[in-house]
Structure 1
Amino acid sequence: CRRLVLQTRWRNSDLDEYDIKALIGRGSFSRVVRVEHKGTHQPFAIKMMEVEFPEGREVCTTELTVLKRVSHPNIVHMVEVFQFPHRVYMVLELATGGELLDRVVSKGHFTERDATKAIKMVLAAISYLHSLGITHRDLKPENLLYYHPGSNSRLLVTDFGLAIVDTSWSLRTTCGTAEYMAPEMVQRKPYWSAVDLWAMGVISFIVLSGSMPFEDDSRTKLYRAIMRGKYSYSGDPWPCVSNLAKDFISGLLRVDPSSRLTAEQAQQHPWVASEAATSSCTNLHRSFPSVGIHPVFLWQRLHNKRHLIKHTGKCDLFYIYILNAVCKTKAALLLIKPAVN
């Protein structure tokens, strides 16, 4: 067993010193369990990755490379690593506050200022990653987790299995989740870290409206819409959203990556920098107070996950999330599409 200790107090500890409490996630090449250190009773997450086969080994190597290199309050922190011939165990800080959209849903009342606080933290992480030559390539709400349930919690960027390190040359590989892919990636043109900013534009659109800027059951039509970069600010709650917020999104959802806002420019945008100080305190999701996000959007997220599974073979506890979200409201049960096997 090879050990790599990263800023940990337990330099002589081993896996036996962690008590497994529950399975909290599962993927094609990994499982995530909640654990407790027997000596300190401090909770952690252990990500167990299968590296016997090339695909799993590649994902694991990428994630390890990134997590060993980074140290930022808005990026999940790796405490230590245990490496065996066929399996790698990453000890990570445990995020218990739920996904970004979980927070939006549970909050009930959600304003532009709430949105900017979340977006500001993600942009800080992206700016830091890009300064190190790291492109995430799979930014989406499911990979943004709150450290704890409190209102002042840090928001953490997670899941670096598709990340790329050292983007001194352009890339062409298509990867990630279809609805968040930038036009240049869809077209298989050379791309660089600007794809992360496009994804941030999609995320910002979702957080403010509860709907996707680009969506279609047909992958071909979806890609066509993304390549055109045509989206709409019509319908609720957009009349209540400030022009500054729309300008911010428009700066990110530019088809030409060279004209797209960089992470640093996005951080300095007046809407983000001021935390929407001039915007109203209107509840943007008041139309669906018991859900916060339109129930049909929950269906779309399930559909998105099928796209990702088909493309990368990746799967997790997303289906349980959907069932939980749907069961929280009778309205969702009436609006959600039925036949899912």
Structure 2
Amino acid sequence: MIYVSEADPDEEGYDLAFEPRNVFVKRKDPKSDYKLGEELGRGKFGIVYKCVEKKSGRQFAAKFINTDRKDDRLAVEREVDLMRQLQHPRILQLYDAFDDGTSEMCLILELIEGGELFERVICDDFVLTEKACSIFMRQICEGLEYIHSKNILHLDMKPENILCVSRTGNRIKLIDFGLARKYNPKEKLQILFGTPEFVAPEVVNYEEVGFGTDLWAVGVICYILLSGLSPFMGDSDLETMANVTSTKYDFDDEAFDAISEEAKDFISKLLLPDMRKRMTTTDCLTHPWIKSTKRRSMAVLDKSKLKKFVIRRRWQKAVNAILALKRMGATLKL
């Protein structure tokens, strides 16, 4: 059985995977510097492979992103610009970037092999407790605090974008800055993208977004991690977004019977309709549920509903990947 360590991850000697690098897009074929290995995953963005840097022998992940349109290429260049500003142990690190003039660009990224957080915790040999959840949520907030300190909004916080560094440790990293934006609080920023289950009311209503937009998603992620239930999920995207704008949710399900009042309070102070009233990342890190050194309940949480949630998300990702491949002109044999 895998029990999450209660030791502070910062005390385990962990540091950045490699030295800080000022990455710029190189105008050449990445295969000139890297040898590609096995495929690690694919989605609507493209394909990720394990790779080895030829001159050093170091292992990385090579993310090939479809850039058929000029806007796609500009989006990847923006992602590179943001990621080179984000050098922190809680954030996936960018090592290299390439554009060889074809229909795709390549990002060389730190290799993380622990898998998605939710996928890992639903494994039968993983013991999920409220204490373990608070450890994971603290690290998520630490990563976001650093991102926000750089005046950057992630804008795509969801379980798939939280990875475990290893299969046995308790460290996580935030990934995927494809939708991230530089943020100037003095300028109005509006967006119309995101995953319906995790977008904040201001996104659905096409109102001004800000740091609190990311914190709404943190509240949703915490709610799901503790209970396996999605607080605003409807039978369709339209119904889900209507539920988000109504901001109606509760802790009435039996899944919350074993959850502390402090944990519920943490969620309640994030799932507020007015983003200006939500906790900041600093507020989150000083909240009693996160900060307290008291031993949280070590009672094992029932993961049956969380497993169902993860299975549903797998199907959604599979369908999205198939649709993306079809858009790229792939012929699928099913």
Structure-to-structure mapping, 1:152-167, within 5 angstroms:
152=170, 154-167=171-184
Tell me which residue corresponds to 1:181.
Answer: 199
Q: Match of 2:299, as an amino acid? A: T
5+ unaligned residues in a row in structure 2: which ranges? 1-19, 24-28, 326-333
The number of residue pairs the alignment matches comes to 300
1:201 to 2:201 alignment = no
Q: Could you give the per-residue CA deviations for residues 122-158 of structure 1, whole angstroms, max 9, x where no partner exists?
A: 1111111111110011000101111222224x31111
In structure 1, C-alpha distance between the alignment counterparts of 2:45 and 2:113, rounded to whole Å:
22
Structure-to-structure mapping, 1:248-263, within 5 angstroms:
248-263=266-281
- Work out which of the residue numbers 100, 120, 126 in structure 2 matches 1:103: 120
In structure 2, C-alpha distance between the alignment counterparts of 1:182 and 1:156, rounded to whole Å:
22
Displacement after TM superposition at 1:53 (Å): 1.2
1:125 to 2:138 alignment = no
Q: Could you give the per-residue CA deviations for residues 162-210 of structure 1, whole angstroms, max 9, x where no partner exists?
A: 1111333222221110000101111111121211000000000111111
5+ unaligned residues in a row in structure 1: which ranges? 316-340
In structure 2, C-alpha distance between the alignment counterparts of 1:133 and 1:119, rounded to whole Å:
21
Does structure 1 retain, via aligned residues, the 8 Å contact 2:63–2:107?
yes
Structure-to-structure mapping, 1:23-102, within 5 angstroms:
23-86=39-102, 87-102=104-119
- Work out which of the residue numbers 246, 265, 274 in structure 1 matches 2:292: 274
- Work out which of the residue numbers 289, 302, 306 in structure 2 matches 1:293: 306
Tell me which residue corresponds to 1:337.
Answer: none
Does structure 2 retain, via aligned residues, the 8 Å contact 1:177–1:304?
no
In structure 2, C-alpha distance between the alignment counterparts of 1:182 and 1:306, rounded to whole Å:
25
SS at 1:252's partner residue? Answer: coil
Judged with a 3 Å threshold, the aligned counterparts in structure 2 of structure 1 residues 50 and 39 are, in CA distance, closer, same or farther, namely same
Q: Match of 2:85, as an amino acid? A: R
SS at 1:272's partner residue? Answer: helix
Does structure 1 retain, via aligned residues, the 8 Å contact 2:141–2:281?
yes
TM-score of the superposition, structure 1-length normalised? 0.80
Tell me which residue corresponds to 2:37.
Answer: 21
**Percent pairwise identity:** 30
1:6 to 2:18 alignment = no
Does structure 2 retain, via aligned residues, the 8 Å contact 1:170–1:190?
yes
SS at 1:179's partner residue? Answer: coil
Tell me which residue corresponds to 1:238.
Answer: 256
Q: Match of 2:313, as an amino acid? A: R
TM-score of the superposition, structure 2-length normalised? 0.82
